[in-house]
Chains A and B, each alone.
Chain A
Amino acid sequence: MEEWRGWRKIRYESELDPAFASEIASIPQGEKLFSCIQCGTCSGMCPISPYMDYTPRQIIAMIRAGFKGDVLGSYTTWLCASCYSCAVECPKDIKLTDIMYAAKRLAIREGIYPKRFPIPVLANEFYKNVEGSGRNSEGRLILRLFLKTNPFKLFKQTSLGLKLLMRGRFSLKRESIKRTDELHRMLKVLEKVHMVKSKDELARMKEVAS
């Protein structure tokens, strides 16, 4: 049990972001999160929820209530392995996995995420990896990940590395597509665009607004 760090559980309205919910809801079918009845099926289905700081159900509640900082800063969204078991069993068809993604992207964009937590680091590395060469060089990725988070872990993994090496399943060679320039031009266009809002969503927001 962690020692008591004098944290304050109460949240004042002034600390909440009322726009947060609609921001997340603006992904395709995101509006469904508003019909959540807090039944907890998602958390129950989720194989990882036991290790999350907030259960998936709580994340939805927090999104609705505008607990932006808490959601974006949480480990939950990053721990999600996107196995989609929550999404397929949700009685209200809430695409929770996609909502987790939306939260992750927002967290990255706004720089609010557990900094030394390996998962966002991996994501970033993977991203750079692919942006550069169009493919992911697994060997290098793992290497970078450990260097960035926990170099010591690297040694623990050497035996595994060797085993893989011997079986020709591991290399530090840089994988790449041929026409990288083409790829770069393509991705550059999308630099600015973060989240595409669906038409019906725009309509919905307009109605809510008025």
Chain B
Amino acid sequence: MNYAYYPGCSLKSTGRAYEESMLSVFEALEIPIEELSDWNCCGATAYMSISELKAFALSARNFALAEQQFKGSNDVNLVVPCAACYLGLNKARRYLAEHLEIKETVDGALKQAGLHYSGHVHIRHPLDVLLNDIGLEKITAAVKKPLTGLRVACYYGCQIVRPYAEFDNQHEPQSMDKILTALGAEVIEWPLKTRCCGGSLTGTVQEVGLRLSYILLKEAKKRGCDVVATACPLCQFNLECYQSEMLKSYGEVINVPVAYFTQLIGVGLGLSSKNLGLNRLFTPLKMPHPVKAVQGGQRVHS
């Protein structure tokens, strides 16, 4: 199966490390993936608050392009790492499928652009692909430097599991936990896996956004995690980049590294920190020393 890659705007700027690490991980696991050419904004959150229909149209253009670019395969798997894009595109896909009247209007718009979407695009999150298409065995087998002793707080955020629990449990998501455990990490039990980080509020109404991120980090830290693993560029940005602000506002030193789950996988697969964009992190990722190599990266869970 070959995959189309939809970066979305963030993975080209603030979230570059996400793109770099994901692509290197896919390469290391020999998963063919190809960027969607001339993709456009998915029309998520902020845009949707102005015009839902246009938002759907924007998504639809991406779908149409994907079908064009991957004529060969009748079903296109569009890999979307950004949570906001994942939801935005997914929502559009569903609405186009379920509401004929919307589909018709959007089709009309696409025609203007000489495009057509016939409904054969699937929105896939890297977590989904890695766990369900590739599978834990293949990943475990590829482990070079198991994350033994690394205590990870898996943070899914909201938009990859809600509102459509496509590949994971809405209340108790497990996919990231499973993958990172397979890499030898020790995932901590915490109840805020899917609680909102504040999204764009940190940029707009900072006092609110900051508070939400702070609550997450505070709890994760209290439960003794070495790193918070995220699956969304905005979550990563909020949790990582405002820690100094938190110090100012709440007088609490957080200083917890916040990495993309793909970066952690990359470390486990022994990829170079440059290819994983680790150098882009504010708080460097410290591995517990010494890392004992364990066969297959499997590790008795404590």
Direct touching of A and B (C-beta under 8 Å): yes
- Contacting pair A122 B204 (CB below 8 A): yes
- A177 at interface by CB-CB < 8 Å: yes
Complex interface bits, B188-215 against A, C-beta within 8 A gives 1, otherwise 0: 0000001110111101110010001000
- CB pair B101–A197 under 8 Å, yes or no, is yes
Taken together as a complex, chains A and B put the C-alpha atoms of A120 and B156 apart, in Å, by: 27
Tell me if B287 counts as interface (CB < 8 A to partner A).
no
Chain B residues near A5 (CB-CB < 8 A): none
- Contact residues of B between 195 and 246, Cβ < 8 Å to A: 195-196, 198-201, 203-205, 208, 212, 241-242, 244
Listed residue (A27, A78, A193) with the most chain B CB atoms within 10 angstroms of its CB: A193
Tell me which residues from 158 to 208 in chain B have a Cβ below 8 Å from any Cβ of chain A: 158-159, 162-163, 170, 194-196, 198-201, 203-205, 208
- Would A108 and B49 count as touching, CB distance under 8 A? yes
The stretch among B24-32, B51-59, B123-131, B258-266 that forms the contact with chain A is B51-59
B57 to chain A, nearest CB (A): 6
Which residue of B9, B49, B54, B98 contacts A187 across the interface (Cβ within 8 Å)?
B54
Is B95 part of the contact surface with A, judged by Cβ < 8 Å? yes
Residue B299, interface by CB 8 Å = no
Q: Does A198 contact B (CB under 8 A)?
A: yes
Given A83-B159, A169-B14, check contact A28 B95 (CB 8 Å). Answer: yes
16 contacts between A and B (CB under 8 A): A47-B196, A79-B201, A81-B199, A84-B163, A88-B162, A88-B170, A95-B163, A97-B163, A119-B204, A124-B50, A135-B40, A169-B13, A190-B51, A190-B57, A193-B105, A196-B105
Q: Which of A127, A160, A171, A196 contacts B47 (CB 8 A)?
A: A127
**Contact between chains at B203 and A187 (CB < 8 Å):** no
Q: Are A122 and B113 in contact (CB under 8 A)?
A: no
**A168 to B16, Cβ gap below 8 A?**
yes
Q: Of A11-19, A32-40, A58-66, A138-146, which stretch is located at the interface?
A: A138-146
Contacts A82-B199, A108-B50, A160-B241 given; indicate if A186 touches B57 (C-beta within 8 A). yes
Q: Is the CB of B10 within 8 A of A190?
A: no
Alpha-carbon distance between A78 and B208 when the two chains are bound, in angstroms: 13
Decide: B38 and A177 in contact? CB cutoff 8 A: yes
Interface band, chain A: 35 or more
User: Which residues from A are CB-within-8-Å of B241?
Assistant: 160, 163-164
- A130 at the B interface (CB under 8 A): yes
B203: contacting residue among A27, A88, A122, A137, CB under 8 A: A122
Which residue of B38, B112, B194 is within 8 Å of A185 (Cβ)? B112
Contact of A47 among B48, B52, B195 (CB under 8 A): B195
Chain B contacts for A137, CB-based, 8 A: 9, 13
Does residue A101 face the partner (Cβ distance < 8 Å to B)? Answer: yes
Chain B positions 1-53 with a Cβ under 8 Å from a chain A Cβ: 9-10, 12-17, 38-41, 43, 45-53
Q: Are A48 and B53 in contact (CB under 8 A)?
A: no
Whether the Cβ atoms of A195 and B57 lie closer than 8 Å is no
Cβ-Cβ contact count across A and B, 8 Å cutoff? 186
A178 lies within 8 A of chain B by Cβ: yes
Docked Cα-Cα span, A123 to B53, in Å, equals 15
Chain A residues lying within 8 Å of B70, measured Cβ to Cβ, are none
Please tell me if B292 contacts chain A, counting CB pairs below 8 Å: no
Show the binding face of B for A, using Cβ within 8 Å. Answer: 9-10, 12-17, 38-41, 43, 45-54, 57-58, 61, 95, 98-102, 105, 108-110, 112-115, 158-159, 162-163, 170, 194-196, 198-201, 203-205, 208, 212, 241-242, 244, 279-282
Partner of B280, one of A88, A105, A168: A168
Of A47, A51, A123, the most chain B CB neighbours within 10 A belong to: A47
Chain A min CB distance to B35 (Å):
13
Contact yes or no, B54 A105, CB < 8 A: no
Does A101 lie within 8 Å of B112, measured CB to CB?
no
Cβ of A160: which chain B residues have Cβ within 8 Å of it? 241-242, 244
B57 near A88: Cβ-Cβ < 8 Å: no
Let me know if A87 and B162 touch, CB within 8 A: yes
Report yes or no: A138 in contact with B201, Cβ–Cβ below 8 A.
no
Q: Do B203 and A142 touch across chains, with their CB atoms under 8 A apart?
A: yes
Query: In chain B, what residue has the closest Cβ to A159?
Result: B244
Query: Which one of A47, A138, A145, A190 contacts B204 once the chains associate, using CB atoms below 8 Å?
Result: A145
Q: A119-B205, A190-B109 are in contact. Are A84 and B159 (CB under 8 A)?
A: yes
Complex CA distance for A179 and B43, rounded to whole angstroms:
17
Q: 1/0 per position for A102-117, CB-CB distance to B under 8 A?
A: 0011001000000000
Please give me the 7 A-B residue pairs with the lowest Cβ-Cβ distance, nearest first. Answer: A83-B158, A83-B196, A84-B162, A134-B40, A81-B199, A126-B46, A118-B204
